[in-house]
Amino acid sequence: MESVTARTHNNFISQKVNAISPSGIRRFFDLLSSIEGVISLGVGEPDFVTPWHIREAAIHSLEKGYTMYTSNYGLLELRQELALYLERQYGVSYHPEQELIITTGVSEGLDIALRAIIDPGDEVIVPDPCYVAYIPDIVMAGGIPIEIPTYQKSNFAISAHDIESKINERTKAILIGYPSNPTGTTLSREELSAIAELARKYNLLVISDEIYSRLTYGSNHTYFASLPGVKDQTISLNGFSKSYAMTGWRIGYVAANRDIIEAMLKVHQYTMLCAPIMAQLAAIEALKSGEGEIEHMRQEYDKRRRVITKGLNNIGLTCPTPQGAFYAFPGIEITGMSSEEFAEKLLIEEKVAVIPGSVFGKHGEGFLRCCYATSLSNIEEAITRMDKFVRRYRKS
Amino acid sequence: MKRILEILQDSSQTTPEQISVMLGIPVNEVTRAIKQAEQEKIILKYKTIINWAKAGRKEVLALIEVKVTPQRNVGFDSIADRIYQFPQVYSAYLVSGTYDLALLVKGENMQEIASFVSEKLAPMEQVQSTVTHFLLKQYKEDGEILRPTKNISRLPITP
């Protein structure tokens, strides 16, 4: 018994989790809550409330007593509606009974996808910068993230050529999410086709996070799985959060071939069991009659997108006009500051919250994520305050 | 044009410069489109929605159902015209159903509306009958909800 040494509290935590650094966003949150009168461009969700007819459908479901578990896959009616929607919207067809699982958002979808496919040491290729959860989720699933640097000069688009240079026998999958959080980048059909080509050539899986697929401006979004010959090698992740302003409902879905779905279902059924039934019923209503609101919200974001991009460029924070999602990703080179220093000082001195690009990866350093899912007057005021700040710190 | 009108309908104070940025079109095009809409009476007027109850003004509104006798050749338009010219009539509609005209009538008090109905409206030759509903409480005006709503705020920082 003497050989047993006392555990310090920290020893309880697994090495895997210990190795993950806490989200840089969290630290900011704590700082922010101590300051009043802040205009936040730091959110990652719509500023719209879920459309009333969708909320009303959920209220109705509660009144009627729909409070039980659903099938692990999710309500069949929802999967049927989804299959119709994906066919209609993107020309990609999934079998509602075999190729779809309803999840608690893309967050869960990504987790079960990675856990279903990764063996220890498998490599997953991701763009850098990318959404905050991608890398920790790969690590937690036992995989090794391989980051592909992307740059503002090429609009933060991941290049198939760079991906190919990192492919080896341990490469299992490519994880992409376009339109991108944090950069607002979209990939053209050609750019996506080049990635599809690699997937076919090297027999790789592609996990495509399509959560911002309805928020593109100017060009139509190509669903990765709709490209010729890659559907069976693609896991599509999607949800209702961004397009229908339903972030708090935690409702999304994964679509993939039957074998992968079966594997993901095992993880899903023993962890989540099923998505909340009221959110599933609300999602049915959203699919049946939410198209009008999607377009209305998209048009609103579109106006704000132009206002913020023009404003940022005017004050010297250069950014190309984002083509998707609701983020602008300007560079702060003219100040010579690190993105974290910039964001922290800006918050304290001018009370504007933005997210330092470094939170999203090494190559996000030197940039800020500014979310324009907020009112036009907030955007204008934020730009005015940022202008004062930049003037103060601009290297002459 | 439609998108410019939508912006102005939502907020008539938006300047052509702002609209130009929002829609990504040149300012002079915006100015021209607005001028054209004004000339063609597509834009009728720039107004402000005011919550008068909150501003302390006492005002009474009534919805009046009016049954009328249509006239040869002119149908309901001629009698409607005689009615909606009264300044007390705030809005006027021809409607389907059990009555013909629906009027929103405004007055300083109930008495004022009652006398408008009894002295002006009801005595008209083509008016067969009227039913007056005084409005008790206004919840929404022109798409804007007037009751104070609690602002549900998002977390200021989310991934």
A148 contacts A139 by C-beta, under 8 angstroms: no
Tell me the percentage of chain A whose pLDDT exceeds 70. Answer: 97
Instruction: Examine the domain organization and report whether A93 and A185 are in the same domain.
Output: yes
A59 and A118 inside one domain: yes
CA A153 vs CA A183, A315, A319: distances in Å? 12, 19, 10
Same domain (yes/no): A180, A248: yes
- pLDDT for residue B149: 75
Q: How many domains does chain B have?
A: 2
Q: Is the pLDDT of residue A2 over 70?
A: no
- Asked if the model's pLDDT at residue A4 lies above 60, the reply is no
User: Does the pLDDT of residue A10 top 70, yes or no?
Assistant: no
Asked if the structure places residue A205 within a domain, the reply is yes
Question: Is residue A28 within 8 angstroms of chain B, CB to CB?
Answer: yes
**Are B98 and B131 members of one domain?**
yes
Q: Say whether residue A376 is in contact with chain B using an 8 A CB cutoff.
A: yes
A135 & A243 share domain? yes
Regarding whether A129 and A61 lie in a shared domain, the answer is: yes
Report yes or no on A5 lying in a domain.
Answer: no
**Is the residue at A8 inside a domain?**
no
Nearest-Cα distance to chain B for A119, in Å, is 27
Residue after which a domain boundary falls, among A289, A306, A338: A289
3-state secondary structure of B11: coil
Q: Rounded to the nearest 5 degrees, what angle is found at the Cα of B51, between the Cα atoms of B46 and B54?
A: 150
User: Is residue A251 located within the same domain as residue A351?
Assistant: no
Are B29 and B98 part of one and the same domain?
no
At B51 the pLDDT is 85
A319 and A336 both lie in a single domain? yes
In a domain, A234, yes or no: yes
Residue B10 structural domain: 2-39
Q: Looking at the DSSP assignment, which residues form a beta bridge with residue B71?
A: B75
Domain CATH code at residue A143:
3.40.640.10
**Element holding B102 (H helix, E strand):** strand B101-107
The CATH number of residue B80's host domain is 3.30.70.920
CA angle B24, A374, B43 (to 5 degrees): 50
Rg (CA), chain B: 21
**Which CATH number fits the domain that encloses residue A363?**
3.90.1150.10
Q: Could you tell me if residue A131 is inside a domain?
A: yes
* Residue B113 pLDDT exceeds 80: yes
Question: Does the pLDDT value for residue A26 go beyond 80?
Answer: no
Name the domain boundary from A262, A289, A316: A289
Confirm whether B49 is domain-assigned.
Answer: no
User: Within this chain, do residues A243 and A310 fall inside the same structural domain, yes or no?
Assistant: no
For residue A303, give the chain B residue with the closest CA. Answer: B22
Q: Using one digit for the tens of pLDDT, what is the confidence trace for A152-180?
A: 999 999 999 999 999 999 999 999 999 99
CB contact under 8 A, B21 and A132: no
The stretch B139-152 carries a mean pLDDT of 82
Regarding whether B74 and B13 lie in a shared domain, the answer is: no
**Same structural domain, A201 and A95:** yes
Q: How far apart are CA A368 and CA A8, in angstroms?
A: 38
How many residues can be counted in chain B? 159
In a domain, B158, yes or no: no
Confidence of residue B156 (pLDDT cuts 50, 70, 90): confident
Residue B152 has pLDDT above 80, yes or no: no
User: Does a structural domain hold residue B156?
Assistant: no
Whether residue B67 sits in one domain with residue B16:
no
State the pLDDT at residue B37: 96
A312 lies in the same domain as A265: no
B145 in reach of chain A (CB within 8 A): no
Domain boundary among A258, A289, A320: A289
Mean pLDDT of chain A: 95
Residues B129 and B60 in one domain: yes
Contact check, Cβ <8 Å, B156/A32: yes
Q: Which of A274-283, A359-368, A384-393, B140-149 has the lowest mean pLDDT?
A: B140-149
Q: Which of B7, B23, B157 sits opposite A32 (nearest CB)?
A: B157
| Partners of residue A45 in chain B, C-beta under 8 Å | 154, 158
Q: Tell me whether the omega of the peptide bond preceding residue A127 falls within 30 degrees of 0, making it cis.
A: no
Q: With CB atoms and an 8 Å threshold, state whether B156 touches A310.
A: no
Share of chain A above pLDDT 90, in %: 90
Question: Please, what's the b/e burial string for A298-309 (b: 16 or more CB within 10 A of its CB; e: otherwise)?
Answer: eebbbbbbbbbb
Residues A238 and A224: beta-carbon distance below 8 Å: no
Q: Based on the domain organization, do B26 and B83 belong to the same domain?
A: no
**Structural domains counted in chain A:** 2
The predicted structure's pLDDT at residue A29:
80
* Banded pLDDT at A85 (limits 50, 70, 90): very high
Please report the pLDDT score of residue B138 as a whole number. Answer: 85
A335-339, B69-73, B149-153 — most confident range: A335-339
Q: Which range is least confidently modeled, A128-132, A385-389, B136-140, B149-153?
A: B149-153
* Cβ distance of A25 and B157 shorter than 8 Å: yes
Residue B91 sits in the same domain as residue B21:
no
Report yes or no on B157 lying in a domain: no
Are residue B61 and residue B124 in the same domain, yes or no?
yes
What is the per-residue pLDDT for B50?
87
- Answer yes or no: is A9 within a domain: no
The answer to whether residue B147 sits within a structural domain is: no
Q: Is residue A1 part of a domain?
A: no
What's the pTM value of the predicted model, to 2 decimals?
A: 0.90
CA contacts within 13 A on the Cβ side of B11: 9
What is the phi/psi pair of residue A391, to 5°? -60, -40
- Any domain includes B148: no
In a shared domain, residues B70 and B30: no
| Mean pLDDT for chain B overall | 92
- Contact flag B158-A38 (C-beta cutoff 8 Å): no
User: Quick one: pLDDT band at residue B143, thresholds 50, 70, 90?
Assistant: confident
- Is B3 within 8 Å of chain A by CB? yes
Answer whether A287's CB lies under 8 Å from A82's CB. Answer: yes
Within this chain, do residues B132 and B85 fall inside the same structural domain, yes or no? yes
Indicate whether A317 and A248 sit together in one domain: no
- Asked whether residue B33 falls in the same domain as residue B59, the answer is no
Q: Is the Cβ–Cβ distance between B78 and B30 less than 8 Å?
A: no
A307 touches B: beta carbon within 8 Å = yes
Range of the domain at A306: 14-43+293-393
- Tokens representing residue A340 in the block: 């974290």
Token reading at A265 = 């279902």
Cβ of residue A16 closer than 8 Å to a chain B Cβ: no
| Cβ atoms of A150 and A97 closer than 8 Å | no
**Which residues are registered as beta bridge partners of A149?**
A128
Is residue A229 domain-resident? Answer: yes
Residue A248, number of CB atoms within 10 A of its CB: 13
Residues B131 and B64 in one domain: yes
Judged by a CB distance cut-off of 8 A, whether residue A265 touches chain B is no
Same domain, A172 and A279: yes
How confident is the model over A214-235, as pLDDT tens digits?
999 988 999 999 999 999 999 9
